[in-house]
Chain A
Amino acid sequence: MYILEVRELTKHFGGIRAVEDVSFKVKDGGIVSIIGPNGAGKTTLFNCLTGITKPTKGSIYFMENDISKFPAHKVSELGIARTFQNIRLFSEMTVMENVMVSQHTRMRYGFLSSVLQGSNFRKKEQIIKEKAFEYLELVGLEDYADTMANNLPYGSQRRLEIARALATEAKIILLDEPTAGMNPIETSEVMSLIKKIQELGKTLILIEHDMRLVMGVSDWIIVLDHGVKIAEGLPEKVKNDPLVIEAYMGRETTH
């Protein structure tokens, strides 16, 4: 069963073809990795999937809806959440509040109830806090709930981004380089976290450069180069694909 289907997605910035005619499908509950050299269009693809930029052409079907023209907040509400390559936390908020923001579309109440703070308001705020705390526990940040987000160490900031994405209760979680700048121990922690998230029934799409992680968790790999999908398949197959090796290592020349 496919939860996400991308058809002939194209994104041009002026004359630059960031993403060109990319199509793929994502299975419900799977872990898909998108790999490729720097500048291959991976983050642009993520931005299109989450409504941050509008694709020039093509469509994105998420649970039967074409979301390619939806604004970011609508996409998030429907159930696609993401983390950012360059960390984008709400740095002047506490760790807990960062995660509480993500419950925005799940626990709703109006302006008047926030002024009156009646039983409905208190009940919902309580649920927001409990859920936020659960997600903090999941990523192992429960002890830092009251710390300011920008005072967290780098690796924890990345995990907080994951908790915040999870707390939107999305069905698909997009992780943009979740282990960038991490040491091997932190990387393996993220690896087990990714598996834990999959066990929650979520679908994951990763952009990742750490091949050990990619080969370890993915059940499908898509390779982009210069905005074009050059290969996709099972990890074993992609690893040995000559086009992929060429994209990463360059062409073999004969002297």
Chain B
Amino acid sequence: MKPILISLFAAILFLPFKGLKAAGIMFISILILLSAVSILKKTKVIDAIKAIRIPEAGRFKAFLIPALLISFLAFPLMLKDYYIDVLIMSGIYTLLALGLNIIVGFTGLLNLGFAAFYAIGAYTYALLNTKLGLGFWTSLPISAGFAALAGLLLAIPALRLRGDYLAIVTLGFGEIVRLVLNNWDSLTNGPNGITGIAPPSLFGVSLGKLNLYYYLVFLLVLLAVIIIRRVESSRIGRAWIAIKENEIAASSMGINTTKYKLYAFAFGTFWAGVAGILFSAKMQFVSPESFTFMESILILSMIILGGLGNIYGAIIGAFILVLLPEVLREVQLYRMLILGIGLVLLMVFRPHGILGGVKGVHFRS
């Protein structure tokens, strides 16, 4: 029943674009695909595959991580500029997803205005660089610090609220930041944005070239993963997860829930600031258009897709949602449609996200 409904859903979505025949083909091909999957499930083939892998999981992981690192280091040597560009954007979104995952995934505070902190990081560097002539490296801690400060300042009043109410306040904050950037002409140059932002340089070598910039982003993502993983597996991370799981129990176990929620907000938005400065230094241009509500939703989709509360899930989610539209560029018109169907399918088959329910590092400590 489920496969029929899903393929019908996809076909109806396609109907207005390609007519009845294409929709029919769509229906049949998806139906065949899904039936094949469910037959495979019934014949226990998938179970058998899973059973083989589990004892090897440790060794598999020990092999996978260095392999991934090496291939990511080697990518700029063999890929065209276009692909490097896409990978850089994946890296920036990975930072955003990792940051939001701290707030939503670990601590369970729904934040719908995360793009605001991304914008604050980006504009801080844009202004520091064009108005005061500060370099990238000096601005990096300032931008990230400003974003974290903004996170803290929003969180202090907003954390009196819970759940949906908190979400609405963060949504409002996101819009406020965007509107301020859009209208404060004398400082931000309004909707025209700020141009002429300098790319970073290191020991006199400009990192403006894509492949060098790629390594900068790669390094910062790696740093973020290591730091966030470590904090997650400490008493701070345990406090965050305890707050998400049961706030009353957490406070009864001695956790100052307000304080740790503030920590989560500041620490999460810090990474949005890092992502922001990387974005503006890469584009050498910022405008309010890049920080809309849709951007916040996109980042949230990444961590939900990957599995809330899982660092690796956030990375996978960010890569999928940046890469997929690019891969589907060939079918320009339909890419958002296909992406949408893909997301719905995922939520049907893995409602907790790709890595949802797979335990992260802190569960092994």
Contact = CB atoms under 8 A, between A and B. Distances in A.
Interface of A: 50-52, 71-73, 76-77, 81-82, 84, 88-94, 97, 100-105, 107-109, 111, 113-115, 117, 121, 125, 128-129, 164, 168
B253 A114 contact: no
Contacts of A114: 230-231, 233-237
A128 B246 contact: no
Contact of B253 (A76, A94, A117): A76
Interface stretch (B19-27, B118-126, B138-146, B254-262): B254-262
A223 B254 CA distance: 29
B252 interface: yes
A110 to B, nearest CB: 9
A239 B254 CA distance: 37
Given A72-B248, A90-B242, A92-B245, A105 B254 contact: yes
18 contacts: A50-B252, A51-B251, A52-B252, A81-B253, A84-B248, A84-B249, A84-B252, A90-B241, A93-B241, A93-B363, A97-B241, A102-B254, A103-B235, A104-B255, A111-B236, A125-B234, A164-B253, A168-B254
A125 B253 CA distance: 17
B238 interface: yes
A104 B231 contact: no
Contacts of A108: 235
A128 B254 contact: no
Nearest to A116: B230
B255 A73 contact: yes
Closest 4 CB pairs of A and B: A114-B234, A90-B245, A105-B254, A72-B251
Contacts of A84: 248-249, 252
A93 B251 contact: no
Interface of B: 227, 230-231, 233-239, 241-242, 245-246, 248-257, 263, 309, 362-363, 365
A44 B256 CA distance: 21
Given A72-B251, A93-B242, A115-B230, 5 more contacts: A88-B248, A90-B246, A92-B241, A114-B237, A168-B253
Nearest to B227: A115
B251 A71 contact: yes
A109 B238 CA distance: 13
A102 B253 contact: yes
B252 A101 contact: no
A104 B227 contact: no
Nearest to B357: A92
Contact of A101 (B230, B255, B256): B255
A72 B245 contact: no
B228 to A, nearest CB: 9
A184 B328 CA distance: 63
Contacts of B245: 89-93
A128 B362 CA distance: 14
A84 B362 CA distance: 25
A147 B144 CA distance: 38
Nearest to B228: A115
B357 to A, nearest CB: 9
B309 to A, nearest CB: 8
Contacts of B233: 114
Contacts of B250: 90, 101
Contacts of A102: 253-254
B251 A88 contact: no
Instruction: Choose among A107, A108, A109, A114 the residue with the greatest number of B CB atoms under 10 Å from its CB.
Output: A114
B235 A73 contact: no
Given A72-B251, A104-B253, A117 B241 contact: no
A31 to B, nearest CB: 20
B242 A81 contact: no
A104 B230 contact: no
